[in-house]
Amino acid sequence: MAMPLDGIRVIDWTIWQQGPICSVLLADLGAEVIKLESREGGDPGRSIVTGAGDKPNFYFEANNRNKKSLTVDLKQQEARELVHRLVARSDVFVQNFRKGVPARLGLDYATLRQHNEKLIYASATGYGPEGPDSGEPSFDHLGLARSGIMLAAGEPDMDPLGIAGGVADQMGGIVLAYGILAALLARERLGVGQQVDGSHLGSMTLLQGLSVSAKGMMGFSLPRTARTSAPNPLWNHYRCEDGKWLALGMLQPDRYWADLCRAIGRPELADDERYATHAVRAGNAAEVVAIFDQVFASKPRDEWLRTLRDQPGDFIYTLVNRVDDLLDDPQVRANDYVIDFEHPRCGKTRVLGMPVRLSETPGSVRTAAPGHGEHTDEILRELGYDADAIRDLRERKVV
């Protein structure tokens, strides 16, 4: 079955997560992604997390599936010329090295566009291409810090909170992939190549767009709120008898209030003047939350899920998952957000599937992350090098 990016070749000169996740999204959609790696060690993500026993290195696998690996020593002119030949036959070049590094190695946009004027040149950065900090290095933790999300997560008076899983890297890569897709469409329509930049700071600002917009337009950002005094108790989460949590998401609370009071066995609350409307309840929110805390703690979560499903009211609610729960969540499985995958070296495992469904040209997980330099000979042969030339390049440690 055809995929959206069939026929698109991407050169992926990236390391760690922010850049690699961008190119993996393109690979999942069918692009041929050739990962440039140093001869010695390759992407440091190969060794930051080591597999346990027969388990794969989840960090490298998640960021580099569906790719090919080409090893080169970019300190050598001949290796750079090899990359230039590859650029001439490619559509996209993605890099996430510190400002100035690509130019020193002849892999900057100005140089590469001489070999391919319609090239899309994409950079994953920390703080964007302009401004006093444009050349500063950044990692995920700094992306969380600079963007404000550390002081947006959690409750009032908490210290800044980190978020596990490389969220700023992940978001930066997603936004950069979005930009690349737009640039490819522009090239198709207008015939132009161009530069694309996606940063930690820009992507994480976008992620908090509603709060940033509130500050810009109204003069205040959306504040941290305490669960125990949530202004709308029907937009909150509650611990059940078995220690599991349930979340309510009713943004028009007056529409659901009376029915919910009956469903949870407290019909008298619907007629209590202290809680009659959302405006009044908001002034007594701590009291309502305390009542709900007591009520929901009286039964296990599964029983509450059945109650809310079966009682009249068309309630809006869901369970609160741990990350550990996601792989077996029936909705995750039904939509192939996590799929079974036969890893060639580690056997059967489960990996992220496609987060978006295209009915006619779906993306897919086809191959595991490549071995270090696994496709070097294959790519060189395609570029016109014969067996003797490849042997010579290896002997001289160009590749």
- Residue 52 CA to residue 46 CA, distance in Å, equals 14
Token code pair at residue 37: 């790696």
Token output for 302 = 């599964």
Neighbours of 10 (CB within 10 A): 23
Confidence (pLDDT) at 1? 84
| Nearest one of 146, 172, 192, 158 to 94, comparing CA atoms | 172
Q: What is the pLDDT of residue 52?
A: 57
Q: What is the pLDDT of residue 51?
A: 52
pTM reported for the whole predicted model: 0.96
CA atoms of 58 and 324, how far apart (whole Å): 15
Taking alpha carbons only, the member of 141, 107, 81, 118 closest to residue 12 is: 107
Cα–Cα nearest to 196, from 279, 119, 301:
119
Task: Give the Å distances, CA to CA, from 125 to 62, 175, 396.
Answer: 20, 11, 33
Distance CA 127, CA 147 (A): 10
Long-range contacts: 184-189, Cβ < 8 Å, 24+? Answer: 184/8, 184/91, 184/92, 184/120, 187/118, 187/120
User: Which residues neighbour 34 within 8 Å (Cβ) at sequence distance 6 or greater?
Assistant: 9, 10, 11, 12, 67, 68, 69, 70, 86, 90, 375, 379
The phi, psi pair for 374, rounded to 5°, reads -55, -30
pLDDT of residue 56: 86
**What CATH number labels 9-210+367-395?**
3.40.50.10540
Cβ–Cβ < 8 Å for 92, 167:
no
Residues forming CATH 3.30.1540.10 domain(s) in the chain: 227-324
Instruction: Confirm if 196 and 123 have CB atoms less than 8 A apart.
Output: yes
Residue 192 in tokens? 């132009």
What is Dmax (Cα atoms) for the chain? 89
- DSSP bridge pairs for 343: 347
Tokens of 59: 């960090």
Alpha carbon distance 233, 347 (integer Å): 47
Predicted local confidence at residue 339, as pLDDT: 97
C-alpha to C-alpha distance for 149 and 146, rounded to whole angstroms: 8
Q: Residue 221 carries which DSSP code? A: P
Strands 92-95 and 9-13, by their bridges, are: parallel
Instruction: Give the pair of three-digit tokens for residue 77.
Output: 């002119």
User: What is the b/e burial string over 171-190, where b = at least 16 CB atoms within 10 angstroms of the residue's CB?
Assistant: bbbbbbbbbbbebbeebeee
Task: List Cβ neighbours of 379 (8 Å cut-off, separation of 6 or more).
Answer: 34, 68, 70, 86
Show pLDDT as tens, one digit a residue, over the chain (399 residues): 899 999 999 999 999 999 999 999 999 999 999 999 999 999 999 998 765 567 889 999 999 999 999 999 999 999 999 999 999 999 999 999 999 999 999 999 999 999 999 999 999 999 999 999 999 999 999 999 999 999 999 999 999 999 999 999 999 999 999 999 999 999 999 999 999 999 999 999 999 999 999 999 999 999 999 999 999 999 999 999 999 999 999 999 999 999 999 999 999 999 999 999 999 999 999 999 999 999 999 999 999 999 999 999 999 999 999 999 999 999 999 999 999 999 998 899 999 999 999 999 999 999 999 999 999 999 999 999 999 999 999 999 999
79: burial class by Cβ within 10 Å (0-12, 13-18, 19+)?
A: buried
C-alpha 302/C-alpha 309 separation (Å) is 11
Q: How many CA atoms lie within 13 A of 73 on its CB side?
A: 13
In which residue ranges of the chain is CATH 3.40.50.10540 found? 9-210+367-395
Per the CATH hierarchy, to which homologous superfamily does domain 227-324 belong? formyl-coa transferase, domain 3 (3.30.1540.10)
CA distance 40 to 114: 29
167-190 helix and 140-147 helix, angle to the nearest 10 degrees? 90
Question: For residue 1, which amino acid is it?
Answer: M
